[in-house]
Amino acid sequence: MQTSVWGHQRRTGWTCGLRISLVLIGGVLGTTAALSASPASVGAKPDRALHQLLDSEWEWQLSQFPERATYVGDHRFDDRLTDLSREAIAARRAHHQQTLQALKAIKRESLQGEDRWSFDILSFNTQINVQGDELFRRVAPEKDLPFSSDSTPFEVNQMSGPQFNLPQLTRATRFATEADYRHYLARLSAVPKSLEQTRVLLEAGRATGWMPPKVALKRLPDQFASLLNPDLAKHPLYAPFVKMPAEFSPSLQAQLTQSAEQVLHQSTIPALQAFRDYLANTYVASAREDLAATALPHGEEYYAWSLKHYNTTNMSAREIHDLGLREVARIDAELTAVMKEAGFTGTLSEFRTYLRTDKRFQFKTADEELIAFRDIAKRIDPQLPGLFVELPRVPYGIRPMAPEEGNNAPHYIGGALDGSRAGYFEANTNNLAAWPSWTMDALVLHEAVPGHHLQIARAQELPGLPSLRRGYGNSGFSEGWGLYAEGLGKQLGLYADPYSRFGRLTLEAHRACRLVVDTGMHSLGWSRDQAINYLIEHAQLEPGFAEAEIDRYLIWPGQATAYKVGEQRILALRAKAQAELGDRFDIRRFHNAVLDHGALPLLVLDQSIAEWIAQEKQRPKP
């Protein structure tokens, strides 16, 4: 979920409740050493100084956050985990300041083309990082707490932590050579130290009152069950050793297998057990009873910072809340109209119950659900050229999410930055009843194409952009685009019946409700029950899922507001372009104008589309 602005869950890849691409995460922006090695050179031309800074930042991120390197397909650091020591975190905080100073030495007005957007992105994110560091420093200024904008006191919760990170990291790791396996064994050996560093971080949060609400953490200890399984044949971290490359000799396979069994049984699993017990007996038990982020030390400032971090806009909590109320009212009316179109004469609640219980809309097996998702994707793909001038080449797949993820929402896992690994939409086949067929059109549109996969893969393939740009993302842009993509379904031949249109509207209503309940709980005094009931009434969610969603918002303040804020900004920019361009407006060119700079903070997207509109006015009519 999550926060250096390069992606607060830099080790997990969550930028939303959906695991949208581990390439969206980042760490911080370089080190003092990196800047010394390639300074924004004295006397250098502005573009060269900026390029040096961008390149050093990218290299530094990969070395400082080795999990990210694995996810983007760079395997130089597969033998290690992120250093969460007090010294490493202090160095990252110091570097944020160094980066800010380096940027001040570069004159933005001297830059041209994509360099301007690179500068704006780096500037926006660096300022957010520095603000976050300063905020956490003020929690206890007399102490050197191990907090920063990328290593927060909320490092582990029911949505993020080693219980999810480690299995997913294993799935993203390359296992082609003996060296790959040796590196992975070294990474497994590093788990105990990483867990101890994480425990120190959590304890510092506990000592200063910076803890998540207790009610949201009740599922956390049980989520470690698969990682504590002594039967290695069923252990997610042992999976690479079940089937090794055929060219490995029997003796090498036996040696690697024996090493894995030893490190898992003697080191990794005992450390995970101890960490799980600490969470159950100490951490969760002492979590705070109140809910609001604003109830934390410096909480008002923290919530405002979180909203800007995730949304990449300057909207206040009140403005976001009011936008949500307007959108919920509009969508409520559309839901009622679609229900009547389906010939149902009861209430929205009764129609929801009917749709949830009618066997026509349920799948009997996981394979049935996956086949249905894949069929939708195959119907979308040929229609995409009608909405885009250029499309990415990297393919995507659809697969089930891991069993240990339980009832988490379907999500997207990004491919490698170099194209060596495809992206995947991971469907929830753990709870078939929770995802009936009438929700499926919108889910594929959001998570796969033209949503997350198309947007992220396109960014990865853009020629001429520095790696830092091609691997960058933020919730406002990426989740805003995902929700916007759901609205393109009719043009792509979907939403053919009122049931799938109702499904699309319920998902949109869910995102609109997030604006209301997130700001309601964190800024306006709403109770958890009040927020749950609001989701049930207006988003048509089942009670259990509504509770899980509310608990997600409690531990990631502000993140869930990014979907609607981003979508509304893209829709407003499209309306502006249509109004100014008239018959010159081409939806295909507009979509590529949004995507072809890679992800941008929404404040920067405003500028880039304004410039595109001016250019389109000068383009000869077709």
Q: What is the 3-state secondary structure (H, E, C) of 538-577?
A: HHCCCHHHHHHHHHHHHHCCCHHHHHHHHHHHHHHHHHHH
What does the block give as tokens for 223? 């989520």
* pLDDT tens track for 532-556: 999 999 998 889 889 999 999 999 9
- Integer-rounded Cα Rg, in Å, for the chain is 24
| Mean pLDDT, range 187-205, rounded to an integer | 97
Give yes or no for residue 94 having a pLDDT over 50: yes
**C-alpha to C-alpha distance for 198 and 83, rounded to whole angstroms:** 10
**C-alpha to C-alpha distance for 371 and 356, rounded to whole angstroms:** 20
CB 198 within 8 A of CB 42: no
pLDDT of residue 25: 29
Residue 414 CB partners (closer than 8 Å, separation 6+): 13, 20, 21, 22, 23, 24, 71, 423, 452, 453, 456, 457, 460
pTM of full prediction above 0.75: yes
Give yes or no for residue 15 having a pLDDT over 50: no
For residue 275, what pLDDT band results from cuts at 50, 70 and 90?
very high
Q: How high is the mean pLDDT of the chain?
A: 91
**C-alpha to C-alpha distance for 499 and 401, rounded to whole angstroms:** 25
pLDDT of residue 7: 35
Q: Residue length, the chain? A: 622
pLDDT of residue 46: 67
For residue 38, what pLDDT band results from cuts at 50, 70 and 90?
very low
Output the CA–CA distances (angstroms, integers) from residue 589 to 155, 277, 422, 619, in the order listed. 41, 55, 26, 12
Compute CA 400 distance to the chain's CA centroid, rounded to the nearest angstrom.
Answer: 18
pLDDT of residue 44: 53
Residue 262 CB partners (closer than 8 Å, separation 6+): none
Compute CA 296 distance to the chain's CA centroid, rounded to the nearest angstrom.
Answer: 24
pLDDT of residue 11: 31
**C-alpha to C-alpha distance for 478 and 245, rounded to whole angstroms:** 36
Q: What would you measure as the largest C-alpha separation in the chain, in angstroms?
A: 74
**C-alpha to C-alpha distance for 309 and 474, rounded to whole angstroms:** 8
pLDDT of residue 308: 98
% pLDDT > 70, the chain = 93
pLDDT of residue 403: 84
* pLDDT tens track for 362-420: 999 999 999 999 999 999 999 999 999 999 999 999 999 988 777 778 999 999 898 88
Give yes or no for residue 144 having a pLDDT over 80: no
Instruction: Please tell me whether residue 151 adopts helix, strand or coil conformation.
Output: strand
For residue 21, what pLDDT band results from cuts at 50, 70 and 90?
very low
Reduced DSSP (H G I as helix, E B as strand, rest coil) percent helix, strand, coil of the chain, to 5: 65, 5, 35
Which of 99-113, 137-151, 158-172 is least confident?
Answer: 137-151
DSSP assignment string, 383-426? GGGGT-SS-----EEEEEPPGGGTTPPPEEE---TTSSS-EEEE
pLDDT of residue 434: 87
**C-alpha to C-alpha distance for 540 and 521, rounded to whole angstroms:** 19
**C-alpha to C-alpha distance for 300 and 293, rounded to whole angstroms:** 7
| Mean pLDDT, range 312-331, rounded to an integer | 98
Omega cis (within 30) before 403: no
Give yes or no for residue 29 having a pLDDT over 50: no
Instruction: Please tell me whether residue 148 adopts helix, strand or coil conformation.
Output: strand
Instruction: Please tell me whether residue 157 adopts helix, strand or coil conformation.
Output: strand
Give yes or no for residue 32 having a pLDDT over 90: no
CB atoms within 10 A of CB 333: 9
Output the CA–CA distances (angstroms, integers) from residue 455 to 82, 598, 611, in the order listed. 28, 8, 20
Angle between helices 366-380 and 440-447 (to 10 degrees): 60
pLDDT of residue 96: 94
Strand order in the sheet with 423-427: 396-400, 423-427, 411-413
Compute CA 96 distance to the chain's CA centroid, rounded to the nearest angstrom.
Answer: 22
| Mean pLDDT, range 351-368, rounded to an integer | 94
**C-alpha to C-alpha distance for 328 and 379, rounded to whole angstroms:** 30
* pLDDT tens track for 450-507: 999 999 999 999 998 999 999 999 999 999 999 999 999 999 999 999 999 999 999 9
CB atoms within 10 A of CB 270: 13
Torsion angle of C-alpha atoms 153, 155, 158, 159, degrees rounded to 10: 120
For residue 12, what pLDDT band results from cuts at 50, 70 and 90?
very low
Q: Compute the C-alpha angle 190/191/197, nearest 5°.
A: 95
**CA quadruple 151, 27, 307, 106: dihedral positive or negative?**
positive
**C-alpha to C-alpha distance for 197 and 174, rounded to whole angstroms:** 26
Beta strands in 93-211, from DSSP E residues, in sequence order? none
Beta pairing class for 411-413 and 396-400: unpaired
CB 497 within 8 A of CB 306: no
pLDDT of residue 45: 66
CB 181 within 8 A of CB 257: no
